[in-house]
Amino acid sequence: MQKVRKAVIPVAGLGTRFLPATKSMPKEMLPVVDRPVVQYAVDEAFEAGIEHIVFVTGRNKAVIEDYFDLHPELIGTLEQTGKKTQLEALESMLPVAGATSFIRQQSPQGLGHAVWCAREVIGDEPFALLLPDMVSFGGRGCLAETMDLYRQTGGNVIAVERCDPSETSKYGIVGRGTEAGSGFEVTAMVEKPAPANAPSNYYINGRYILQPEIFSLLGNQQRGAGNEIQLTDAMVRLSKSQSFYAQPFNGRMFDCGSKEGFIEATIAFALARNDMKGPVLEMLQAFVRSHERQEVAA
Ligand code: UTP
């Protein structure tokens, strides 16, 4: 079984659900507490043993590349003002030189097309894919768990979570087959099915390990939903000749590409920090009390 060494993080989407903020700021740079959304995915990937990250970027995304670079003026200022802890924290977040590549998706033609753009840098080996707007919370990190199942089964592995059965039409849903290691075999993959047609309520949560044969399928993939080149469509074709497995995530993924998910993530990460838990909890309780009083008065 070939080791998974590289990860693709696509960041070239337009982020229309977050307009107007995303007119001039990539949604991947929106901060959850004090770190941009994309930093969480990068940490998760390196913690899971990934050695090289390929970012698929586009116009107006240069700020992401700059973010993962040294900032001499800032370092100088922190040194002069004796802010050693902050300096060390900043330096520890920086990927090792040479451990990142940035390639261009000239126009956002869909997630499948973004992944296809990484084909030359990935080459002929299995790779991880992390959608950075999906932020992993709790457990050992979603990609680490997905890699565990890959080491047990090989093939292609998708991380999944359960949604409310009435909400399957919001997600990519997989069918549950027999148990395999810490997960199960995937029997079907359906994009946004109505509850009556959904093969289960396990939804694809934004972490994948894929075999390189996906690239040739993406290269001739017809446009699908939203007139975009859809990754799920190519995965369905790949599943005719290769196995797919699903790893249920033991933590929780927040969809920071949606406003509600982003607010939820901000609260969850703040409450998980010892330095913030107390005041944030107090603030939330005060908000709820005042909201309830207003509702009673209305
Ligand atoms: P999304 O579908 O969540 O991103 O793609 P989006 O299209 O930017 O968002 P909305 O729906 O308009 O608000 C998941 C990830 O894939 C990237 C996005 O940047 C995001 O991180 N992506 C998507 C690309 O890199 N290229 C694409 O063509 C589409």
Q: Where are the domains of the chain?
A: 6-257, 259-298
Contact 209, 126 (CB under 8 A): yes
| Residue 296 pLDDT greater than 80, yes or no | no
What is the phi/psi pair of residue 275, to 5°? -75, -10
CA distances from 202 to 173, 185, 207, 246 (A): 6, 12, 13, 9
* Residue 231 structure tokens: 């990754």
Coil/strand/helix, residue 117: coil
Contact 114, 56 (CB under 8 A): yes
State residue 262's pLDDT score.
96
> Ligand 1 center to residue 245 CA distance, Å?
24
Ligand 1 neighbours, Cβ below 6 Å, are 10-17, 28, 56, 105, 108-111, 113-114, 131-133, 257
CA 132 / ligand 1 centre spacing (Å): 9
From residue 254, give the alpha-carbon distance in Å to each of 56, 86, 171: 21, 27, 13
Question: Any residues with CB less than 8 A from the CB of 182 and at least 6 apart, and which?
Answer: 145, 148, 149, 152, 247
- The mean pLDDT value for 160-186 works out to 95
Nearest to 101 by CA among 124, 88, 125, 119: 119
Q: Quick one: pLDDT at residue 31? A: 96
pLDDT above 90 for 78: no
The stretch 164-189 carries a mean pLDDT of: 95
Q: How far is the CA of 84 from the centre of ligand 1 (A)?
A: 37
70: left (phi over 0), alpha (psi -120 to 50) or beta: beta
CATH topology of domain 6-257: Spore Coat Polysaccharide Biosynthesis Protein SpsA; Chain A (3.90.550)
pLDDT at 297 over 90: no
| Dist. CA 14 → ligand 1 center (Å) | 6
Residues 128, 136: contact at Cβ < 8 Å? no
Q: Whose CA is nearest to atom 9 of ligand 1?
A: 15
Q: What is the pLDDT of residue 75?
A: 86
